[in-house]
């Protein structure tokens, strides 16, 4: 039974807290101490999320801080899951709360050649020698920081020196066990200052993103938000639609990050994937684009979309200039867009009247009872003509058919209740209509001196042979009609 558990230090990985416990415990090896922390001593550890731990360990951990503080302040959840879709974000958070072992697996990790940093070199537990020295001075021991294990960041955001890989490997190919930072951090290691301003800027930006609150309410896509921030810039082609100048954006991105070793966006396809796909977006690429576009870490994490879409704002600007007396050609020249887009925006905006049209008002004032009485004889006559026509293939009686044959404005018969009742009374079921079609077909084939069979019925009616056979069987069972004698 665990009698005491260390209190997490600021920005300390939860894995490091457990490793310090094993280092402090009176066991001969950390393997023996891990037996108290884990329900299965042979399970692989995840340095970013830790995963499954025993109930006794969880109870001791939550004595000094809440479960939410453990996840948000001592795991990589605020960085790795921040830009996932909302449902997957909630699923990962729930898995972290119930201490599942496959938390990292539930996030779509970038393993393609586009965004894979893991594939370039093995991943190790890392530390900053200056931070370790200050930690020993302040707390009496060194520990592992979250901000030193951000993908694509190789610089300490506090002391601007390069991070150092420890001998402890932390990828998924082997079980690292619990290795305390005091074991592998040497006091005589010298810090190597970073002279690359872009690496320092990236480290500061991503660390600021790590410490922002995670939005668990909004489902805004990171790609959609970044695309909205391109509006009004030279990377968004001025037009009514959504068009990016991907070539210009990619060229300037590559030029801006040419001295960043971990930069991997090199093709148009990679850039389009970043904008179009929200599932599995690596936060490193999102942060790089946010830094390039001048988006603050707080704005990037909140991802508040504009109240009106770009198309709505475009239409409002065009309509405002149009009402000022400017022609479509002048508007297109001033806004640097095509004249076709301007004309379409004007037509679309002018098509939305705030009040009903005069035609709609006049329609509502008509005497529909009188119109119903006048149309009823014509409707009955047309119904009889349709049902008694033996020369042409039978057609069904319907409201649309009657309106078309009598040249009545669409929608009028719906308001004429007498006409509508007459049409519904003459409406046939599917079986009745098929039987009438077959009677007509058999009579016509016999009058022309042909042979009545499935093939001839299929050619004249257009029905499938299976449907004809089923219909003939049904008519024969009921008895009656020319189809029953076939």
pLDDT reported for residue 251: 93
Please provide the average confidence, as pLDDT, over all residues in the chain. 80
Q: Count how many residues are written for the chain.
A: 486
Over residues 15-29, the mean pLDDT reads 77
Q: Which residue has the higher pLDDT, 85 or 143?
A: 143
Across the range 364-368, mean pLDDT stands at 73
Q: Does residue 455 surpass a pLDDT of 90? A: no
* pLDDT tops 50 at residue 33: yes
Give the pLDDT band of residue 309 (cuts 50, 70, 90).
Answer: confident
Of all residues in the chain, the percent with pLDDT exceeding 70 is 81
Range in 233-242, 385-394, 413-422 with the lowest mean pLDDT:
233-242
- Whole-Å CA distances, 403 to 238, 375, 381, 414, 416: 47, 11, 13, 10, 12
Q: Determine which of 130-144, 346-360, 380-394 has the lowest per-residue pLDDT on average.
A: 346-360
For the ranges 2-6, 7-11, 240-244, 306-310, the maximum mean pLDDT occurs at 7-11
* pLDDT higher than threshold 70 for residue 394: yes
CA distances from 33 to 93, 183, 270, 398 (A): 27, 15, 45, 82
Q: What is the DSSP string of 284-305?
A: HHHHHHHHHTT--HHHHHH-PP
pLDDT at position 249 is 92
Average pLDDT over residues 96-116: 53
Please report the pLDDT score of residue 114 as a whole number.
Answer: 36
Higher pLDDT, 57 or 252: 252
Q: What is the pLDDT of residue 201?
A: 95
What pLDDT does residue 345 have? 84
CB 15 within 8 A of CB 144: yes
What span, in angstroms and rounded, lies between the C-alpha atoms of 357 and 270?
A: 50
Q: Indicate whether 279 pLDDT > 50.
A: no
pLDDT tens, residue by residue, 422-453 = 999 988 888 888 888 888 888 888 888 888 88
Q: Where are the alpha helices (H) located in 211-245, listed in sequence order?
A: 222-228
Question: What pTM, to 2 d.p., does this model score?
Answer: 0.65
Which range, of 344-348, 364-368, 428-432, averages the lowest pLDDT? Answer: 364-368
The pLDDT value given to residue 82: 87
- Does residue 407 contact residue 363 with C-beta atoms inside 8 Å? no
- The average pLDDT across 352-357 equals 44
The predicted structure's pLDDT at residue 115:
40
Identify the H or E element spanning 361: helix 358-364
**Confidence class of residue 112 from pLDDT cuts 50, 70 and 90?**
very low
Q: Is 294's pLDDT higher than 90?
A: yes
* pLDDT score of 159 more than 90: yes
Residue scoring higher pLDDT (405 or 385): 385
Whether residue 56 has pLDDT greater than 80? no
Highest mean pLDDT of the ranges 77-81, 102-106, 171-175, 195-199: 195-199
Cβ atoms of 414 and 455 closer than 8 Å: no
Question: For residues 194 and 155, is the Cβ–Cβ distance under 8 A?
Answer: yes
Q: Is the pLDDT of residue 116 over 50?
A: no
pLDDT at 350 over 70: no
């Amino acid at each position: 039974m665990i009698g005491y558990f260390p209190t997490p230090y600021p920005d300390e990985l939860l894995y490091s807290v457990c490793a310090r416990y094993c280092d402090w415990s009176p066991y001969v090896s950390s393997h023996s101490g891990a037996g108290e922390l884990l329900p299965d001593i042979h399970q692989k550890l995840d340095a970013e999320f830790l995963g499954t731990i025993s109930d006794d360990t969880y109870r001791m951990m939550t004595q000094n801080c809440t479960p939410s503080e453990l996840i948000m302040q001592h795991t990589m959840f605020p960085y790795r899951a921040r830009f996932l879709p909302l449902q997957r974000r909630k699923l990962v958070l729930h898995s972290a709360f119930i201490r599942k072992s496959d938390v990292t697996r539930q996030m779509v990790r970038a393993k393609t050649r586009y965004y894979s940093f893991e594939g370039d070199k093995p991943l190790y537990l890392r530390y900053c020698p200056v931070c370790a020295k200050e930690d020993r001075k302040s707390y009496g021991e060194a520990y592992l920081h979250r901000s030193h294990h951000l993908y694509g960041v190789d610089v300490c955001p506090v002391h601007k020196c390069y991070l150092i890989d420890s001998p402890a490997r932390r990828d998924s190919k082997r079980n690292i066990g619990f290795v305390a930072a005091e074991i592998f951090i040497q006091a005589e290691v010298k810090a190597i200052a970073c002279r690359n301003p872009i690496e320092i800027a990236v480290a500061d930006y991503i660390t600021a993103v790590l410490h922002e609150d995670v939005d668990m309410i909004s489902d805004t896509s990171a790609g959609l938000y970044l695309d909205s921030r391109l509006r009004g810039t030279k990377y968004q082609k001025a037009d009514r639609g959504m068009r990016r100048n991907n070539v210009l954006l990619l060229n300037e991105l590559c030029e801006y990050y040419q001295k960043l070793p971990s930069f991997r966006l090199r093709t148009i396809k990679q850039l389009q994937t970043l904008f179009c796909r929200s599932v599995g977006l690596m936060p490193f690429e999102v942060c790089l684009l946010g830094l390039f576009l001048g988006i603050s870490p707080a704005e990037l994490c909140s991802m508040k979309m504009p109240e009106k879409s770009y198309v709505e704002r475009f239409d409002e600007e065009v309509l405002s200039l149009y009402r000022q007396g400017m022609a479509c050609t002048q508007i297109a020249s001033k806004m640097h867009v095509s004249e076709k887009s301007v004309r379409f925006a004007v037509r679309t905006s002018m098509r939305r009247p705030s009040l009903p049209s005069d035609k709609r008002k006049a329609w509502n004032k008509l005497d529909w009872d009188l119109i119903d009485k006048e149309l009823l004889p014509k409707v009955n006559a047309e119904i009889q003509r349709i049902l008694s026509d033996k020369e042409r293939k039978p057609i069904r009686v319907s409201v649309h058919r009657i309106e078309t044959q009598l040249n009545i404005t669409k929608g009028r018969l719906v308001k004429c209740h007498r006409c509508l009742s007459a049409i519904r009374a003459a409406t046939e079921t599917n079986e009745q209509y098929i039987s009438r079609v077959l009677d007509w077909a058999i009579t016509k084939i016999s009058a022309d001196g042909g042979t009545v069979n499935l093939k001839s019925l299929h050619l004249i009616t257009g029905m499938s042979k299976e449907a004809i056979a089923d219909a003939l069987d049904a008519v024969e069972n009921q008895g009656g009609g020319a189809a029953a004698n076939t």
